[in-house]
Amino acid sequence: MPDNQVLISEVGPRDGLQNCSAIMDTETKKRWITALAASGIREIEVGSFVSRKLLPQMADTATIVAHARTIPGLEVAVLVPNLKGAQMAVEAGAHKITLPLSVSETHSIRNIRRTHDEVIEEAERISALIASLPQDQRPHFEGSLSTAFGCTLEGPIPEAVILTCAERLMQAGCDEVGLSDTTGYGDPASIRRLIRSVRAVVGVENLTGVHLHNTRGLGLANALAAYEEGISTFDCSQGGLGGCPTAPGASGNIVTEDLVFMFESMGVSTGIDLPSLLEARQILAEGMPDETLYGFVPDAGLPLGFKQARATVPAE
């Protein structure tokens, strides 16, 4: 990917909606995802294959995956907690599967009811499942290092634990690892430090994405620090929805609209048309009328004379 281009991965339909008390109806989800893709978003985490009893908001994920797969050029991503979820994701046709491994073992047990060793076993089983598929049907497999910058249940996690988890996920067969600031503990210095440390053990090419929360208002600063370290994929959620139901105090993701505006203002292309993105927000607002939506750009509007960036491909 060129230096002046990033991939924005919209996680609102999964991470955003899972933290809402109300349930967005399936048809509105479809319209929202279609509008997000029409704005230029090329990767959307559309849901998770988890227990319907625990997260009824995600009960229609298979239907949503089927719809999202009809949208040309869209990478359809899902989260799974175990092999069963991965099997459902493969059957539905997801292009990308993310398995969370919380580096805080306390959170891991509370979140997906598995210790570190048990998550690694699930990763090995999922990897074997993917390897059994024809080459052109294999989804991309990411292992997410959740609570990597701190946990509301354990506090700071020793770096040695994080690095061991990263190495074990790659050894288990993940295509890459991602860093997740699940609880919004990160700051620009810790973002830089941990990216460098993890890349030193898994390789630069195997850590390209971050999932950052804006709990204490540092989301954009942290994203900029990650970009300056060479990270090219950024998770975010329209309206800043999100949080982790099993991590007390974890609030929403970076606001997609604000993150896109920051990069575009810098001359870094996201490929996303901001006016169209703001139109997609209206579908979200209408579908979840009781939810507070955040974002400075939606409130202030685009500045007079604003022009979006265009990526340049380096000459070979």
pLDDT tens-digit series, residues 27-41: 999 999 999 999 999
pLDDT of residue 268: 97
Residue 314, domain member (yes or no)? no
What mean pLDDT do residues 193-199 have? 98
Q: What is the CATH number of the domain that holds 256?
A: 3.20.20.70
Mean pLDDT value across residues 101-118: 90
Residue 2 located in a structural domain: no
> Which one is catalytic: 165, 174, 236, 244?
244
- On whether residue 82 sits in a domain, the answer given is yes
CA distances from residue 256 to 36, 242, 268, 278 in whole angstroms, order as listed: 11, 12, 15, 10
Among the listed ranges 12-26, 231-245, 295-309, which one has the minimum average pLDDT value?
231-245
Contacts of 33 (CB under 8 A, 6+ apart): 13, 44, 46, 64, 67, 68, 71
Residue 28 CB coordination number (10 Å): 14
Mean pLDDT, residues 213-224 taken together: 95
What is the rounded average pLDDT of the residues 202-227?
A: 96
- How many domains does the chain divide into? 1
> pLDDT category, 130, cuts 50, 70, 90?
very high
Please report the pLDDT score of residue 315 as a whole number: 47
Q: What backbone torsions phi and psi does residue 288 show, to the nearest 5 degrees? A: -130, 65
Question: In this predicted structure, what is the pLDDT of residue 299?
Answer: 95
> Does residue 305 lie in a domain region?
no
Dihedral angle sign, alpha carbons of residues 202, 207, 210, 211: negative
Whether the per-residue pLDDT at 313 is higher than 70: the answer is no
Q: Tell me, what's the pLDDT at 226?
A: 98
Q: Is 244 a catalytic residue?
A: yes
Within-domain flag for 154: yes
pLDDT confidence band for 295 (50 / 70 / 90): very high
Mean pLDDT within 280-295: 96
Non-local (6+) Cβ contacts of 145 within 8 A are: 101, 103, 162, 165, 166, 169, 177, 178, 179, 180, 198
Q: Does residue 39 fall inside a structural domain?
A: yes
β-pairing, 43-48 vs 7-10, is: parallel
pLDDT higher than 90, residue 110 = no
Query: Containing domain of residue 247, as a range?
Result: 7-300
Q: Residue 128 falls within a domain, yes or no? A: yes
What confidence tens digit (pLDDT) does each residue in 247-274 have?
A: 555 568 999 999 999 999 999 999 999 9
CA atoms lying within 13 Å on the CB side of residue 82: 12
Residue that has been written with the tokens 């800043």 in this structure: 240
**φ, ψ of residue 314 in degrees (nearest 5):** -65, 145
pLDDT of residue 271: 97
**Among 48, 80, 52, 50, residue whose Cα is nearest residue 64:** 48
Question: What average pLDDT is seen over the chain?
Answer: 94
- The rounded distance, in Å, linking the Cα atoms of 61 and 1 is 30
Query: Residue 304, class by beta-carbon neighbours within 10 Å (0-12 exposed, 13-18 middle, 19+ buried)?
Result: exposed
**Assigned domain for 16 exists:** yes
Report pLDDT digits (tens) over 52-70.
Answer: 998 999 999 999 999 999 9
